[in-house]
C-alpha cells in the first residue's frame, strides 16, 4: 500500500501540465495534504516534494489562498507529529512566494520558529534540516533578526541529530548575517567542533569548506575559521580528521590557509597521528599547499 501511495504522490506533482486553467491547480493539493499526515516517511517525503513542485507553478494569490492554509494547518496539527514534520519542508516555498505580504510573512516566520522549538525531537530535526532553505527565502535582514536565534538554539539542542542538521545550514546562515559571522563562528560553530558527539564533529568537518565560502571577503571570520580548522585537524577521532581533510574544497582551504603560521598545527597533527589513511591524505595536502 505504501508503494502505491508513493507512486500516487510522485505523479500528482507532475500533473500540473495536464490541468486545464491554472486556476484549477489547487485540486491537486488536497490528496497530497492528506498524504503529509501518513506515518510512512517515504510517502510524506514524496507528498512534500510534489506540493513544492505544484506550488512553484502557482501565483502568489493562489499560494496565499490555497497553499498557505495547508502549511499552517499541518504545522499546528498536535494529535500526531508527522504532519508537523511534513510542514517543515513547505515553509521555504511559501515564504519565497509571499515575501512581499507582511502579514503572511510574519505568520510563516512565527510558525517555523514554533516548529524549531517543538517538544518532539523529530520535528525539531526536520526544522533544522530546512533551516538553510528557509533562510534563503527570508533574506539578510529577516535571517539576522528572526532566524539566527533559532539557529543558535538548535545548535545547542539536546539531541545530536538535531545539532547535526542545524550545522548543515551554517554556510547559508553565514552568507546572510554579515558582520555577525565572526561571533557565530566563535560562540556557536566552534562549540560544536568540541561537541561530545563525534557525529556532530564530523558534520562540522563536512561543512567547513562551504562555511569558508560563505565567509569569503570577511577577514575576521576567516581568521576564526582557521582556528576551527586546526581544532578539527587535532580531533581525537580519526573519522573526524579524515573526513575533514579528504574533502576537495577543504583541500583548497588548506592550500590558502596553510601559509599562515597557525597551520603548522597540521604538521603537528601529522606527527602525532597513527591513522594511516589520515596521515597519507594530510601529507599529500601539505605537499601541495607548500609547493
| 9 and 69 housed in the same domain | yes
| 128 and 198 housed in the same domain | no
Nearest to 63 by CA among 51, 75, 74: 51
Q: Which region, left, alpha or beta, applies to residue 149 given φ > 0 means left and ψ of -120 to 50 means alpha?
A: alpha
Residue 152 lies in a domain: no
Residue 42 lies in a domain: yes
DSSP 125-172: HHHHHTHHHHHHHH-HHHIIIIIHHHHHHHHT-SSHHHHHHHHTTHHH
Rounded mean pLDDT of the chain? 84
2-21 confidence digits (pLDDT tens): 899 999 999 999 988 888 77
| 193 and 283 housed in the same domain | yes
264-280 confidence digits (pLDDT tens): 444 444 444 445 544 44
Residue 34 lies in a domain: yes
Cα 18 off chain centre by: 34
| 92 and 204 housed in the same domain | no
How far is the CA of 39 from the CAs of 43, 68, 83, 85, 158, in angstroms?
A: 8, 22, 9, 10, 24
| 17 and 96 housed in the same domain | yes
In the prediction, which pLDDT does 244 show?
57
| 279 and 198 housed in the same domain | yes
In the prediction, which pLDDT does 272 show?
44
Residue 199 lies in a domain: yes
| 134 and 225 housed in the same domain | no
| 131 and 232 housed in the same domain | no
In the prediction, which pLDDT does 263 show?
46
| 222 and 288 housed in the same domain | yes
Residue 119 lies in a domain: no
51-71 confidence digits (pLDDT tens): 999 999 898 999 999 999 999
| 12 and 95 housed in the same domain | yes
Instruction: Return the higher-pLDDT residue of 25 and 198.
Output: 198
With contact defined as beta carbons under 8 Å apart, do 209 and 242 qualify?
no
Confidence check: pLDDT of 255 > 70:
no
pTM score: 0.82
| 26 and 133 housed in the same domain | yes
| 129 and 221 housed in the same domain | no
Residue 143 lies in a domain: no
Residue 206 lies in a domain: yes
Residue 109 lies in a domain: no
Q: In which domain, by residue range, is 245 found?
A: 164-171+187-291
Domain count within the chain: 2
> According to DSSP H, which parts of 197-275 are helical?
198-214, 219-233, 238-246, 248-257, 264-272
Amino acid at each position: 500500500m505504501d508503494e502505491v501511495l508513493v507512486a500516487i504522490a510522485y505523479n500528482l506533482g507532475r500533473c500540473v501540465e495536464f490541468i486545464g486553467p491554472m486556476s484549477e491547480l489547487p485540486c491537486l493539493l488536497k490528496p497530497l495534504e492528506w498524504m503529509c499526515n501518513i506515518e510512512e516517511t517515504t510517502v510524506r517525503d514524496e507528498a512534500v516534494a510534489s506540493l513544492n513542485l505544484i506550488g512553484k507553478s502557482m501565483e502568489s494569490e493562489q499560494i496565499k489562498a490555497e497553499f498557505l492554509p495547508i502549511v499552517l494547518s499541518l504545522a499546528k496539527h498536535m494529535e500526531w507529529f508527522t504532519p508537523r514534520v511534513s510542514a517543515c519542508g513547505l515553509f521555504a516555498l511559501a515564504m519565497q512566494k509571499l515575501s512581499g505580504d507582511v502579514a503572511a510573512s510574519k505568520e510563516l516566520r512565527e510558525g517555523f520558529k514554533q516548529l524549531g522549538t517543538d517538544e518532539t525531537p523529530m520535528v525539531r530535526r526536520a526544522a533544522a534540516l530546512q533551516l538553510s532553505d528557509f533562510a534563503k527565502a527570508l533574506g539578510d535582514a529577516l535571517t539576522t533578526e528572526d532566524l539566527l536565534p533559532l539557529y543558535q538554539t538548535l545548535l545547542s539542542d539536546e539531541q545530536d541529530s538535531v545539532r547535526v542538521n542545524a550545522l548543515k545550514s551554517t554556510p547559508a546562515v553565514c552568507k546572510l548575517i554579515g558582520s555577525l559571522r565572526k561571533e557565530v563562528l566563535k560562540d556557536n560553530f566552534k562549540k560544536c567542533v568540541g561537541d561530545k558527539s563525534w557525529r556532530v564533529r564530523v558534520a562540522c568537518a563536512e561543512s567547513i569548506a562551504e562555511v569558508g565560502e560563505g565567509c569569503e571577503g570577511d577577514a575576521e571570520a576567516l581568521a576564526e575559521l582557521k582556528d576551527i580548522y586546526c581544532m578539527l585537524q587535532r580531533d581525537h577521532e580519526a573519522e573526524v580528521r579524515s573526513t575533514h581533510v579528504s574533502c576537495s574544497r577543504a583541500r583548497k582551504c588548506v592550500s590558502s590557509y596553510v601559509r599562515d603560521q597557525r597551520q603548522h598545527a597540521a604538521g603537528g597533527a601529522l606527527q602525532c597521528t597513527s591513522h594511516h589513511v589520515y596521515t597519507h591524505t594530510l601529507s599529500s595536502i601539505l605537499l601541495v599547499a607548500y609547493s
